[in-house]
A and B are shown apart, each in its own frame.
With several copies, the nearest count.
Chain A
C-alpha cells in the first residue's frame, strides 16, 4: 500500500492527489474528504491558526494510515494537513483513499478522519471580531471514533 503523508503551510491541490490515487492498479473506488475553514458559529471569523507538534504530527498521521491499512484492504492512503494561518474558505485537510471496493474506501476514509480528529496533535485557534479563542474539542468527535472500536 502507498502511504503519503504531509504537514505543510502551503495549500494543496485536491486534483493532484486524486490523480495520484487513480494510478493505483486494481483500485476501482476513490474516496476523498476535504475540510475547509468555515464560519459555522455565525461569528465573524477572519481566519484560523493551526498549531501542531512538529515531528509528532507526521508520525501520528502515518500511524493512522497504517491502522486503517490493518483494518481494510487499501491500495493507497494520502493525508495532507495544513498548519499556520488560514483564511476562511481555505483548505485545511485532505484524506484520500483508493481501494478495490467502495465500502472499504468509504470506511477507511471516515475512520482516518475520526481518528485524526481525536489523536493527531493539531490545535485550532479561531480569529474573530470578538477576539481569538482556542477551539474546544467536541464530544461528538470522541463518539465518532468510539464507533470503530
Chain B
C-alpha cells in the first residue's frame, strides 16, 4: 500500500488530492506512474509529463527511485514558490 499525494495544477487536473495505490512493491516511481496512468484517460495524460516532479517521504527523488510499501509518494509540477 502506497500513499500517493498530488499538488497544485496536477491535483486540479486529476480532481484528486490523495490516492492509495495497491501496486506490487518494491516498485519504482516510473512503475508506480504506469500503474496510476491506468486509472483513466485523464490520469494517463496528466501523469505522463516528463516535467513531473516526485518526492518520496518528503524528499525529492528521480523517477528511477525505489518505492516500498508504506511510502508516501508525492507528484507535483515544477515548483514556483519564493
Q: Please determine if A and B sit in direct contact within the complex, based on CB atoms under 8 angstroms apart.
A: yes
Residues of A within 8 A of B (CB): 35, 50-53, 55-56, 59-60, 81, 92-93, 102, 113, 116-125, 134-137
Shortest CB distance A99–B (Å): 15
Beyond the given A52-B81, A92-B81, could you list 19 further A-B residue pairs with CB under 8 A, ordered by the A residue number?
A35-B82, A53-B7, A53-B55, A53-B74, A56-B74, A59-B58, A102-B82, A117-B79, A117-B80, A118-B78, A119-B79, A120-B82, A121-B79, A122-B79, A123-B8, A123-B81, A124-B81, A134-B8, A137-B78
Query: In the complex, which of the residues A53, A92, A102 contacts B5, with contact meaning CB atoms closer than 8 Å?
Result: A53
Category for how many chain B residues contact A: 10 to 19
Taking a contact as CB atoms under 8 Å apart, the answer to whether A56 and B55 are in contact is yes
Chain B residues with CB below 8 A from A59, complex form: 58-59
Query: In the complex, which of the residues A55, A56, A60, A135 contacts B80, with contact meaning CB atoms closer than 8 Å?
Result: A135
Main secondary structure of the interface of A (DSSP, over half): mixed
Taking a contact as CB atoms under 8 Å apart, the answer to whether A136 and B60 are in contact is no
Residues of B within 8 A of A (CB): 5, 7-9, 51, 55, 58-60, 74, 76-82
Query: In the complex, which of the residues B9, B51, B58, B80 contacts A53, with contact meaning CB atoms closer than 8 Å?
Result: B58
Could you pull out 15 A-B pairs where Cβ atoms are within 8 angstroms? A35-B82, A50-B81, A53-B7, A53-B58, A117-B81, A117-B82, A118-B79, A119-B60, A120-B81, A121-B76, A122-B82, A123-B8, A124-B81, A137-B79, A137-B80
